[in-house]
A = this chain, B = another copy of it.
Amino acid sequence: MSFTGTLPGLTADDSDRFETALKKFVGARELPLYKMMAYHLGWVDQNGEPEPAVVQDRSHGHLVLSTAKAVGADNASAMPYAVSVEMLYNFLLVHEDVQNANTERNMRPTIWWAWGPAQAINAGDGIHAMARMSLFEQRNASGHAADPRYISMALESLDNATLDVCEGEYLDISYQERAAVSVAEIVTVARKHGALYGVSAKLGGIAAAADDGVIDALYKFGSALGTAQNLNIDLQAQWPAEGTERTEVQRGRLQSKKKSIATAHAIENGTPTTRRRLGEIFMKRVLDPADLDEVTIILAETESRAFAEGKIAELADEALDALNGAGLSAEQQQLLAESAKLIVGM
């Protein structure tokens, strides 16, 4: 599950201010296209009428704010960067819902399900185009926030992270059709997806006009924790928490034959019989619930869950190690370390 709370080090006020900034950014535009975006972001219903806010994962935007705070930027300078990366994250979700045919997200119909795939592709493209616009407004800010060097570094980092995610997504989709996928391949894909948290943490450093070394360290921190989270999301889909059912998005991932690091471990380390059973399942066009149960049984035999959890713990350690290069106070470092664990979902 993704993290929907407020990160340690941020106050409820910080979180409210961010939500207000995001809402203002999208709400400044009038057309129905933007109502659809507001629906996706959880503020209005399908008719564009206000409804009680749906709690959503804002951890990308929040990570910008908390890393910025850790390296000494005020909230106001970090806000446009936080809005920017949150928009990017959400454009990817809107497209992922079409790609995986998810009918529900956060227990509400997805855009493609409510308005059709053509509108969902278009709404995602619009969110993508808007993602950088909050930064252009920075040019009118005062101090280093208006420094074109920082704005341009941020813009380039955002595009690079998006392209990393697309590279990962290409591999991810192509692995859906292959039975033989290795642990190393799955980690490579997760690292590509981790770039979005990498750029989130980096933008916090940019907002604070931090030294290049600090900005680099923050990128590595975010990227490693994002990688760990990406691997963990698939584990949580495989083994939902005690007493909870798989969500629509989790089922979608498994049924579209996304392979977790645990599955890759079983493919690499299982007996010939195990591998043949997995192969038979993944050669089906669509998996049904019985197939998903069968995979769970196989993964128990190969002890792949423990292996996967070990790998995720390693990556979380990698994130914390990276923080040592960011020159933070012990207290700030501790807050980010706790944030990392919450985002990874450990």
Contact = CB atoms under 8 A, between A and B. Distances in A.
B128 A99 contact: no
A124 B162 CA distance: 12
B152 A148 contact: yes
Contact of A167 (B31, B117, B159, B170): B31
A31 B163 CA distance: 12
Interface string A159-198: 1101100110110011000000000000000000000000
A300 interface: no
A132 interface: yes
A130 B159 contact: yes
A148 to B, nearest CB: 4
A249 to B, nearest CB: 15
A276 interface: no
Given A136-B156, A159-B130, A162-B129, A33 B121 contact: no
Contacts of A82: none
A176 to B, nearest CB: 8
Interface string A312-331: 00000000000000000000
A133 interface: yes
Nearest to A151: B152
A125 interface: yes
Given A99-B118, A99-B122, A128-B129, 7 more contacts: A98-B121, A116-B173, A118-B173, A119-B170, A122-B170, A125-B169, A133-B159
Interface of A: 31-33, 36, 91-92, 95, 98-100, 116-119, 121-126, 128-130, 132-133, 136, 139, 148-149, 151-152, 155-156, 159-160, 162-163, 166-167, 169-170, 173-174
8 contacts: A95-B122, A99-B117, A128-B129, A129-B162, A130-B163, A132-B159, A136-B152, A148-B152
